[in-house]
Amino acid sequence: MKTKNIKRLGLFIKPSVDAIYYEGVGGINGSAKFQVEFANCIYKYGTFDEYHCFCKKIEKEYYLPDKRFKIIPINMIAEYLKKYHYTCFHHTGPSLKYYLLKYRQNISKNLFPYTTTTHSISYSYMVGKTFLPYCLHKLFPFDSIFCCSEAVKKTLSIYFELIQSYYQVEQYPYEGQMLVTPHGIDGDFFRKNKISQIAAKKKFKLAHDSMVILYFGRISVALKKDILPLISIFNEILKSNPEKKIYLLIAGNNEELQKNNFFHKRHLLIETYLKELKLEKNIHFYNCPSDIIKVHLFSAADIFISLSDSIQESFGLSIIEAQASGIPVIASDWNGYRDLIKNKQNGFLIPTYWQKDVELDNMSKYKKIEYYHYRQAQSVAIDMNQLKNILEKVIFNKDFLRMLKKNTTKYSMEYDWSNSLKKYEENWVYLSEKSEFMSNKFGLKTLRNIDPIINYKNKKYEIKDFPISYYQSFKHFATEIVNENWYITLGCVSNVLIDAARNNLDTKLLILIIKITFQELSKTNKFKITQLAKILNKYGHNNIEDIIRHLMWLFKQGNLHLIK
């Protein structure tokens, strides 16, 4: 077999022979979990002929039991690039490895494709630190960023447009591709370790004939999702159905429990709220459960719910874990979530709403990540009226729930690594064929003569003042964008928890808006935001964006509802 016909993949990970499972000590985020599982599952399901895994802190070369996998010290990479023909090199993070591009341009046996993977892309520093180099280093049409969702791909396209416009890098715009390549999960782990629902409910001391709603994910009001609206809706359903046995299980890494966390007081607020509403018996928290406990929680659940409102979310691994466990999912119509759910077939997508917020762009220049993400997430509303209606429909219609579960099981295999990895491999082969075509058409020597890097130490490429527009870059995450021509109506949640708006909103303005809107809605079913703005103008409040932001928070909590 000729060496160039061998499918050989270069990696910067070290696969484990045995599966590694999380034991529940501390927290683990989605991107870290993805990288561990990707390494293990490529070992389990990969179909290439050879895998060269270049790793730090390795003193000498050695093979894994599967001899296709060779572990190599990172300082030997130049030697291997001269010797071997590679189908592709892949990095499981989004950052470029500059030395690899330099070696590829100057010494490698072939101009192999170089691919990277996106995770969260919402941190302002990433535009200059992570993605500007894609425009300043020579990349080819056979290179690609693997985008985990269509929404992420669109945001990256906007980033590159902003970069080229701001820095005027016409010489080397990003010329690679952005192939949508979803993440996967180890579905076998969930199916093999699943226990009966009766046994799982018994394990967590839940009534065997109860209805169990599960949220599993990072508990962070700034960087994942706000659980307060979910608790409020759950309370409304319980009030309407006091005879029903319904539980809400909230599990994951609870960052708000950490005393040095800016949002620690918010968790204390929620604890007080639960006591006031007498919900402690119906809402249970599980902080940092192990993977086995996670599977048992999924086994106990009838419905999985995830209402992401943060631009930090990029895909939704927990959603496909729920699907692998055969649980229907109710999720916000937000970013990558909408790629994972076939609405009304294996779950539901709840509409999301956002607004233009200029101050958010300014905050990202000088505030910590948690601060500007908090402001952004708190101005995203999920349709609480629709959520309540759908939850009641699913909870109280066993035949409908059974149909959803059947469809979920049917679709659950789509994102197993055994299937997802095929998409990665297809893309690597496609890009490799494209690189071979270009090398044959233009000649390897001609392509190598292109300068591989621009000197971006030049002041022209300083990144500290990059004017990122969050609204422009992420507005497509939401279902709808609210403006002053929308109407205000009553929502479905009666309790207004003013304290939850502190450190984000002007409490006096919020109370004034509540007073005026409820007065007006006592006279009519709806009235326009512009009408509210005219009244507030008399009180010295004339910033329409700020007024809408306060309305969006009440919309988010379910106290008010906004319609076109």
Amino acid at 356: K
The string of pLDDT tens digits covering residues 3-22 is 568 999 999 998 876 666 66
Alpha-carbon span 346 to 348, nearest angstrom: 7
- Using pLDDT thresholds of 50, 70 and 90, give the confidence band for residue 151: very high
Cβ pair 427, 130 in contact under 8 A: no
Q: Give the tokens for residue 461.
A: 């490429």
Is residue 350 located within the same domain as residue 221?
A: yes
Top-confidence range, 14-28, 86-100, 491-505 = 86-100
The string of pLDDT tens digits covering residues 394-418 is 998 888 888 888 888 777 788 999 8
* Span 490-508, average pLDDT: 90
Q: Give the tokens for residue 71.
A: 């572990």
Which of 367, 383, 414 is the last residue in one of the domains? 414
Is residue 424 located within the same domain as residue 499?
A: no
Instruction: Please state, rounded to an integer, the average pLDDT across all residues of the chain.
Output: 89
Q: Which of 24-28, 379-383, 393-397 has the lowest mean pLDDT?
A: 24-28
Alpha-carbon span 381 to 442, nearest angstrom: 52
Is residue 362 located within the same domain as residue 285?
A: yes
Is residue 477 in a domain? no
Cβ pair 352, 332 in contact under 8 A: yes
Alpha-carbon span 215 to 378, nearest angstrom: 19
What is the tally of structural domains in the chain? Answer: 3
Is residue 311 located within the same domain as residue 235?
A: yes
pLDDT at 143: 97
CATH number, domain containing residue 283: 3.40.50.2000
Alpha-carbon span 216 to 87, nearest angstrom: 38
Q: How far is CA 18 from CA 42, 58, 73, 108, in A?
A: 12, 19, 21, 33
* Span 230-246, average pLDDT: 93
Is residue 406 located within the same domain as residue 423?
A: no
**Residue owning tokens 């984000």:** 504
Is residue 427 in a domain? yes
Is residue 297 in a domain? yes
Residue range of the domain that includes 208: 189-414
The string of pLDDT tens digits covering residues 466-493 is 677 889 999 999 999 999 999 999 999 9
Alpha-carbon span 276 to 274, nearest angstrom: 5
Angle formed at CA 228 by CA 298 and CA 564, multiple of 5 degrees: 105
Is residue 475 in a domain? no
* Three-state secondary-structure class, residue 464: coil
Q: How far is CA 329 from CA 138, 206, 289, 409, in A?
A: 43, 21, 20, 12
Residue 298 or 454, more confident = 298
pLDDT at 345: 84
Cβ partners under 8 Å of residue 335, min gap 6: 149, 151, 152, 308, 311, 313, 314, 315, 477
Is residue 358 located within the same domain as residue 497?
A: no
Q: Which of 170-174, 196-200, 364-368 has the lowest mean pLDDT?
A: 170-174
pLDDT at 454: 53
Helix and strand totals (H; E) in the chain: 23, 20
287, HSE (Cβ side, Cα atoms, 13 Å): 9
Answer whether residue 156 shows pLDDT above 90. yes
Is residue 23 in a domain? yes
Is residue 476 in a domain? no
CATH number, domain containing residue 149: 3.40.50
Q: Give the tokens for residue 41.
A: 């599952």
- Using pLDDT thresholds of 50, 70 and 90, give the confidence band for residue 1: very low
Is residue 109 located within the same domain as residue 57?
A: yes
Cβ partners under 8 Å of residue 399, min gap 6: none
pLDDT at 292: 93
Is residue 196 located within the same domain as residue 167?
A: no
- Using pLDDT thresholds of 50, 70 and 90, give the confidence band for residue 256: confident
Q: Give the tokens for residue 145.
A: 């960023």
Ordered DSSP codes for 485-524: TSEEEE-S-----GGGGTTTS-HHHHHHHHHHHHHHHTT-
Is residue 223 in a domain? yes
What percentage of residues in the chain have a pLDDT greater than 90?
Answer: 64
Alpha-carbon span 267 to 259, nearest angstrom: 10
Which of 414, 430, 457 is the last residue in one of the domains? 414
Cβ partners under 8 Å of residue 111, min gap 6: 104, 105, 140, 142, 435, 438, 439, 444, 447, 448
**3-state SS string over 223-236?**
CCCCCHHHHHHHHH
* Span 297-304, average pLDDT: 96
pLDDT at 29: 66
Residue 113 or 28, more confident = 113
Starting at the earlier edge strand, list the strands of the sheet with 560-563.
527-528, 487-490, 560-563
Is pTM beyond 0.85? Reply is yes
The string of pLDDT tens digits covering residues 519-561 is 999 999 999 999 999 999 999 999 999 999 999 999 999 999 9
Is residue 531 located within the same domain as residue 398?
A: no
Q: How far is CA 95 from the centre of its chain?
A: 18
Answer whether residue 27 shows pLDDT above 60. no
Is residue 15 in a domain? yes
The string of pLDDT tens digits covering residues 415-465 is 999 899 999 999 999 999 999 999 999 998 888 877 655 554 555 555 555
Is residue 115 located within the same domain as residue 207?
A: no
Q: Where are the strands (E) in 223-282, listed by range? A: 246-252
Listed residue (82, 553, 500, 80) closest to 274, CA to CA: 500
Is residue 540 located within the same domain as residue 436?
A: no
Is residue 373 located within the same domain as residue 306?
A: yes
